[in-house]
C-alpha cells in the first residue's frame, strides 16, 4: 500500500514522507534533478527520526568484468556519509545483458551491492529493479518476500508538487539538464565580451582582481546587492550593462567569496533566487569571467545536495577558466563525496549582508 504524507513546518519547509518502494523509485528523478536512463542508484538514508535521503549516488551500469570494482567504489561513496540504511535501485539493463531464466536483470550486481553494504555495516532496506522510471512501469524487488508493484506517474506525486512549489525543475535527461548552462545567444556573448574589454581598458589603474590588502570596491558590492534584490523579487531580466557590471564585480574575488553566503540556508527561497541569478549569469557571460558565476552556481547546488548540477557547473567554470582554483577545490570535494554540510564553513567564514532583508 502506498503511504505518502506531507507536513509544513513553522519555517515553511515542506516535508514529504514516503514509505512505499514504488513512490521511492518515482522520487529518484526529482532527487537527481533528471530522469536517469539505465543506471545503478544508491539512496543513502540518514540517521535520526527524520531519515533524509542524502546523497543519491548514480552510475552507469558496469560491464560484468568491472562489477566488483564498481561495487566497491559505489559503496565507498555511500560510506563517506553517515547513514542508517541504503536502498539499491537498478534501472533498466545494460546493452547486451541477458538475465538467466527466472531471475531479474543484473541479479548478481544487486546481490554484490547488498553484500558489500551489509558487510560494511550499512543495511539495505530494499533492492529494487524497474525497466524505466515512468508511470505504469512494473517494479520488482530482488528480495523474494517483497511484493511487486507499479510505479505512479512521477510527475503527479506529492514530491513532484512540493518540488514545483519550491521552483525546482526535473529534467528529462542529464543532457537536457546540461543544456541549461549553454550560452543564451552567441551573438550577445560576443557583444558583452567587447563591452567587458572596453570596461577593463577604461580602468587601467585598477588593482588586480582579488588582490589582498585592498578594500572591496563599494560599487561592486552595491551592484551585487541590487541584482540579488531583484532576483528575490523574481526579476531575472538582465541587460548587457547588468551582465557586464556583475561580471566585473564577481571578478573581484573578495566580492565573489562573499557571494558564497547567498547559498545559506540551502534550498530556502532566497538561496534559490540567488542560485537562479548565477545560472542566468552563466548563460549570459563570456569566458573567462563566466567562471565566477559558474562556481557560485555549483557551490549553491552542492550545498543543497544537487551533485549533478554542481558537477556540471564546476566543469563549466573550468572550461571558461582552466585552473580556476575554487572550482578545482570544490570539484575535488564533490568527487570524493564530501558531504554538503562539510562546506558550510566556506560560507560562514565570509562576511554576508548581500541578501535583502526579509519583508
The confidence score (pLDDT) of residue 305 equals 85
Strand partners, 90: 40, 129
The residue that leads in pLDDT, 76 or 46, is 76
Burial of 4 (0-12, 13-18, 19+ CB in 10 A): middle
DSSP 200-235: HHT-TTSPPTT-TTSPPPHHHHHHHHHHHHHHHTT-
Burial of 67 (0-12, 13-18, 19+ CB in 10 A): middle
Residue 16 has pLDDT above 90, yes or no: no
Neighbours of 354 (CB within 10 A): 19
Cβ-contact 133, 29 below 8 angstroms: yes
β pairing state of 149-150 and 138-141: antiparallel
112-126, 192-206, 269-283, 342-356: lowest mean pLDDT where?
A: 192-206
- Alpha-carbon distances of 313 from 4, 249, 268, rounded to whole Å: 33, 19, 20
The dihedral built from the CA positions of residue 85, 91, 97 and 100, taken in this order, carries a sign that is positive
Cβ-contact 164, 157 below 8 angstroms: no
pTM listed for this prediction: 0.81
The per-residue pLDDT for range 107-139, each reduced to its tens digit, is 999 999 999 999 999 999 999 999 999 999 999
Phi and psi at residue 272, in whole multiples of 5°?
A: -65, -40
The per-residue pLDDT for range 145-188, each reduced to its tens digit, is 788 999 998 887 767 666 666 667 789 999 999 999 999 999 99
Cβ-contact 33, 171 below 8 angstroms: yes
- Alpha-carbon distances of 197 from 185, 244, 249, 289, 322, rounded to whole Å: 19, 10, 14, 11, 19
Neighbours of 294 (CB within 10 A): 29
The per-residue pLDDT for range 181-219, each reduced to its tens digit, is 999 999 999 999 999 999 888 765 444 444 333 445 679
Cβ-contact 152, 133 below 8 angstroms: no
Amino acid at each position: 500500500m502506498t503511504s505518502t504524507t506531507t507536513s509544513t513546518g513553522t519555517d515553511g519547509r515542506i516535508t514529504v514522507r514516503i514509505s512505499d518502494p514504488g513512490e521511492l523509485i518515482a522520487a529518484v528523478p526529482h532527487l537527481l534533478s533528471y530522469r536517469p536512463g539505465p543506471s545503478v542508484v544508491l539512496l543513502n538514508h540518514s540517521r535520526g527520526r527524520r531519515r533524509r535521503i542524502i546523497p543519491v549516488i548514480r552510475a552507469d551500469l558496469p560491464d560484468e568484468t568491472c562489477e566488483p570494482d564498481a561495487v566497491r567504489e559505489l559503496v565507498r561513496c555511500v560510506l563517506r556519509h553517515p547513514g542508517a540504511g541504503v536502498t539499491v535501485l537498478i534501472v533498466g539493463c545494460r546493452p547486451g545483458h541477458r538475465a538467466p531464466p527466472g531471475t531479474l536483470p543484473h541479479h548478481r550486481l544487486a546481490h554484490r551491492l547488498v553484500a558489500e553494504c551489509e558487510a560494511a555495516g550499512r543495511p539495505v532496506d530494499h533492492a529494487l529493479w524497474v525497466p524505466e522510471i515512468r508511470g505504469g512501469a512494473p517494479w520488482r524487488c530482488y528480495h523474494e518476500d517483497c511484493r511487486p508493484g507499479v510505479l505512479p506517474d512521477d510527475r503527479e506525486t506529492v514530491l513532484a508538487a512540493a518540488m514545483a512549489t519550491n521552483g525546482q525543475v526535473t529534467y528529462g535527461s542529464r543532457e537536457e539538464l546540461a543544456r541549461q548552462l549553454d550560452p543564451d545567444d552567441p551573438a550577445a556573448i560576443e557583444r558583452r565580451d567587447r563591452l567587458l574589454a572596453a570596461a577593463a581598458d577604461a580602468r587601467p589603474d585598477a588593482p588586480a582582481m582579488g588582490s589582498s590588502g585592498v578594500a572591496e570596491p563599494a560599487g561592486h558590492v552595491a551592484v551585487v546587492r541590487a541584482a540579488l534584490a531583484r532576483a528575490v523579487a523574481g526579476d531575472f531580466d538582465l541587460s548587457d550593462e547588468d551582465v557586464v557590471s556583475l561580471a566585473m564585480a564577481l571578478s573581484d574575488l573578495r566580492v565573489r567569496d562573499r557571494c558564497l553566503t547567498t547559498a545559506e540556508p540551502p534550498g530556502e527561497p532566497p538561496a534559490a533566487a540567488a542560485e537562479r541569478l548565477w545560472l542566468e549569469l552563466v548563460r549570459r557571460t563570456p569566458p573567462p569571467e563566466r567562471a565566477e558565476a559558474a562556481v557560485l552556481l555549483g557551490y549553491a547546488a552542492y550545498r543543497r545536495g544537487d551533485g549533478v548540477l554542481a558537477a556540471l557547473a564546476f566543469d563549466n567554470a573550468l572550461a571558461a577558466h582552466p585552473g580556476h582554483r575554487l572550482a578545482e577545490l570544490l570539484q575535488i570535494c564533490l568527487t570524493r563525496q564530501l558531504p554538503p554540510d562539510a562546506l558550510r564553513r566556506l560560507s560562514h567564514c565570509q562576511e554576508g549582508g548581500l541578501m535583502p532583508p526579509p519583508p
